[in-house]
Amino acid sequence: MVKKGRVFSGARPTGRQHLGNYLGAIKNYVTLQDDYDCVYSIVDLHALTTLEDTAHLREWTYEMALDWLAAGMDPGRGTIVFVQSHVPQVTELHTILSMVTPLGKLTRLPTFKEKVREQPDNVNYGLVGYPVLMCADITLYKANAVPVGVDQASHLEFTREIVRTFNHHFGPVLVEPQAVYTETPRVLGIDGVNKMSKSLDNHIEIASSPEEIYERVRMMVTDPQRQRRGDPGRPEVCNVFSLHQVFTPQETVQQIDSDCRTAGIGCVDCKKMFAKNLADYFAPFRERRARLAENPDEVWEVLHRGAEKAGVIASQVIDEVKGAVGLP
Ligand code: ATP
Ligand code: MG
């Protein structure tokens, strides 16, 4: 079948994948395989920008591969899954792209300022260059489409600007990618306020056991005005309710909506129902993950084969880029 183009996406191996990653990105990673050649990268170099301690990097890389493969990334259908640092051409492209990137734009990005606030003692050079390395990740594979959560929108726009600048100077070599979003591009965390994030520890890992899922769901913040069991609730401001809409059949969602408004059900019952539906939804995922984990060598082998295939594309593109720039 003729594919519509190439997809690239990556995520940092800083822990297991959570519901936000799944609903915002991984769902699209999987479905886009039908129509695109897909390249998915565990971006370990990016992880170095924030990690004080790299002891877990190998373990988290492996865990992420398990999450991705169990979710349905399928190397058997040609999908490339690999580790960023295994294809070092990306660092060459990063250096070249950094020469057409204005420093002021990088330091003005809200995501950079946020990191400076988060880790004032470790404002490293890599942190500033993060969006340039991201641009190199994507353009090294000439990807047309990039499935990401909406928190990455400004970075992707930045990539597009770098591509336009590069092509303006050196000819139409790089491809300007489009972001692809799911229907749930920004999932809130269990605090009900912030984006679900590993770094905020307000997340629910998709590989959690049903018991662990319930533990986290129990902590979810609901309608703050609903203090007592008898108070009527407002589903429209409740994150448990908004997630019910994803994991619970439509008729039941309508029932919950009216029962919540009339205080017919309390938050505890509502959460129990949600935790069960969530655990059931991910049951086949947990089984596949457990089976993959029986053979860690095979998982690493998938990543190594992925890097070989990615390396072939990367070599061609980096040669083309160097030629366009005029490097002898
Ligand atoms: P960190 O806190 O370390 O930045 P994270 O939880 O934000 O981690 P990432 O690894 O940065 O997760 O993101 C991986 C992918 O998941 C990205 O495409 C990102 O846009 C998407 N994503 C992350 N969090 C959410 C969320 N809450 N809702 C929707 N998409 C998300
Ligand atoms: Mg993030």
CA distance 147 to 68: 14
Please count the other Cβ atoms lying within 10 Å of the Cβ belonging to residue 22: 24
Q: Kindly report the backbone phi and psi dihedral angles of residue 115, in degrees, each rounded to the nearest multiple of 5, phi listed first.
A: -65, -35
At residue 1, does pLDDT exceed 80?
Answer: no
Q: What is the pLDDT of residue 75?
A: 98
Cβ contacts of residue 100 below 8 Å, gap of 6+? 162, 165, 166, 169
Pocket test for ligand 1, best of 151, 183, 204 (most atoms within 8 A of CB): 151
CA of 221 to the centre of ligand 2 (A): 21
Please count the other Cβ atoms lying within 10 Å of the Cβ belonging to residue 291: 10
Q: What is the pLDDT of residue 180?
A: 98
Q: 6-187+295-325: what CATH class? A: alpha beta
Q: Does pTM surpass 0.75?
A: yes
**CA-based diameter of the chain, in Å?**
76
Q: 210-281: what CATH class? A: mainly alpha
At residue 299, does pLDDT exceed 90?
Answer: yes
Answer whether 197 contacts ligand 1 (Cβ < 6 A): yes
Q: What is the pLDDT of residue 6?
A: 98
CA-nearest residue, atom 13 of ligand 1 = 11
**Dihedral sign from CA coordinates of 156, 159, 163, 165:** positive
pLDDT tens digit string along 224-239?
999 999 999 999 999 9
pLDDT tens digit string along 43-86?
999 999 988 789 999 999 999 999 999 999 999 999 999 999 99
Inter-axis angle of helices 89-98 and 125-139, nearest 10: 110
SS3 label, residue 1: coil
Count of helix runs (H) and strand runs (E) in the chain:
15, 5
| Domain range summary for the chain, segments of one domain joined by + | 6-187+295-325, 210-281
Answer whether 204 contacts ligand 1 (Cβ < 6 A): no
Cβ contacts of residue 295 below 8 Å, gap of 6+? none
CA of 82 to the centre of ligand 2 (A): 19
What does the angle CA 88 – CA 93 – CA 94 come to, to the nearest 5 degrees?
95
Confidence of residue 289 (pLDDT cuts 50, 70, 90): very high
Q: Rounded mean pLDDT of 104-130?
A: 93
Q: Which residue has the tokens 């990005």?
A: 109
Q: What is the pLDDT of residue 199?
A: 86
CA distance 217 to 273: 10
Answer whether 242 contacts ligand 1 (Cβ < 6 A): no
CA of 128 to the centre of ligand 1 (A): 19
Q: Rounded mean pLDDT of 29-43?
A: 98
CA of 302 to the centre of ligand 2 (A): 25
Answer whether 303 contacts ligand 1 (Cβ < 6 A): no
Average pLDDT value for the chain:
97
pLDDT tens digit string along 6-26?
999 999 999 999 999 999 999
pLDDT tens digit string along 174-188?
999 999 999 999 999
CA-nearest residue, atom 18 of ligand 1 = 148
Answer whether 46 contacts ligand 1 (Cβ < 6 A): no
